[in-house]
Amino acid sequence: MSSQTIETVDRSLQRVSASARLSASFIDGRTRLARLYQDGAAKIRMPQTDGGPLEAILINTAGGLTGGDRIGWEIAIGAGASATITTQACEKVYKANSGRAEASVQLSVATGGRIAWLPQETIVFERAAFMRRLDVELAHDAEALIVEATIFGRLAMGESAVNGSFHDRWRIRSGGRMVHAEDFSMGPKIAGTLARSAVTGGDIAVATVLFITPEPERLVDAARAIIGDQGGVSAWRVGRTGKLLARLHAGDGYSLRKRLVPLIELLNGQAGLPKVWSL
């Protein structure tokens, strides 16, 4: 019998380690791309727009995240510039065999600038483990509209997220002062937590909307009319900074989006909704 050389195969799963950075400046009367950096599965594309804010679309070419994956986005908006940032599709967080998936977002806006952070929904699958960090630094007179929506399972596909872990951490500063901080965490029994009447009463789709703007009070009544009784909205001030905070929940992603879309259109003014969003 002839001898054979047996080659050892490394069966460890390949992990995503990706990051991308974008900066925009106000030049010759419009917002223009200043710098762009992309590494690994993190890509950024910019469709042509007819004036108005710069629009950037974030893409994770890995097709989703699982335990051990890391992806980071960094967006810097210069003085007087305006940008709308969204994603090509919903981000999917799959079952984690070990570790957790992590996403980090760093946003900064200089004086007189504005950013609308409008990613499409994050879909959390059964036994997923996910940590997201959102850090925002605003000049004292900068505006920011920040939206994060999450769906725990996909009813249309017969999928549910009963078990797993999910942690969403936000830190927003304006003029160097902390104006909003929250840590939303669930697990290991996700479905059990959502079932509580003080949480969503069993609804699997949730969204948080934060709008840092000088006069948030003028938008409260219109926002409440859109949200209805499945959520709430309030506005107040932290020092000189005004903010509107809304939370929504629904039985499925489509029902959530039917209210989230008009709410974004209300708060985002003439910039409206990113082209890739649709019902």
Assign 3-class secondary structure to 208-248: EEEEECCCHHHHHHHHHHHHCCCEEEEEEEECCEEEEEEEE
The CA-CA-CA angle for residues 228, 231, 234, to 5°, reads 95
Residue 5 has a pLDDT of 40
Asked if 236 contacts 244 with a C-beta cutoff of 8 angstroms, the reply is: no
Yes or no: say if 184 and 153 are a contact pair by the CB < 8 Å rule. Answer: no
- For the stretch 203-254, pLDDT in tens is 999 999 999 999 999 999 999 999 999 999 999 999 999 999 999 999 999 9
* Residue found by looking up tokens 């769906």 in the block: 151
Query: What was the pLDDT predicted at 254?
Result: 94
Q: Rounded to two decimals, what is the model's pTM?
A: 0.92
If phi over 0 gives left and psi between -120 and 50 gives alpha, with beta otherwise, what is residue 28? left
**What is the average per-residue pLDDT within 187-199?**
93
Confidence of residue 6 (pLDDT cuts 50, 70, 90): very low
235 neighbors 244 (Cβ within 8 angstroms): yes
What are the angstrom distances between the C-alpha of 203 and each of 34, 209, 243, 268? 42, 17, 26, 26
pLDDT at 11 over 80: no
Given a cut of 60, whether residue 159 has pLDDT beyond it is yes
Question: What is the predicted pLDDT for the residue at 49?
Answer: 74
pLDDT score at 249: 97
Q: pLDDT grade, residue 51 (50/70/90)? A: confident
Res. 156: pLDDT tops 70 = no
Residue spans of beta strands (DSSP E) within the chain: 17-27, 30-39, 42-45, 54-60, 70-77, 82-87, 91-93, 101-109, 114-118, 122-124, 128-138, 143-152, 164-174, 177-186, 205-212, 231-238, 241-250
The answer to whether the CB of 21 falls within 8 A of the CB of 8 is no
Burial class of residue 229, CB neighbours in 10 A (0-12, 13-18, 19+)? exposed
Identify the pLDDT of residue 50.
74
CA angle 55, 69, 39 (to 5 degrees): 50
Least confident of 6-15, 22-31, 88-97, 111-120: 6-15
* pLDDT, tens digit, 9 for 90 and up, residues 13-33: 568 899 999 999 999 999 999
279 band by pLDDT with thresholds 50, 70 and 90: low
Banded pLDDT at 177 (limits 50, 70, 90): very high
* Mean pLDDT, the chain, whole residue set: 92
Q: How many Cα neighbours within 13 Å face the side chain of 167?
A: 13
pLDDT at 107 over 60: yes
In this model, does residue 144 exceed pLDDT 90? yes
Q: What is the pLDDT of residues 263-274, one digit of tens each?
A: 999 999 888 888
Does the pLDDT at position 42 exceed 90?
yes
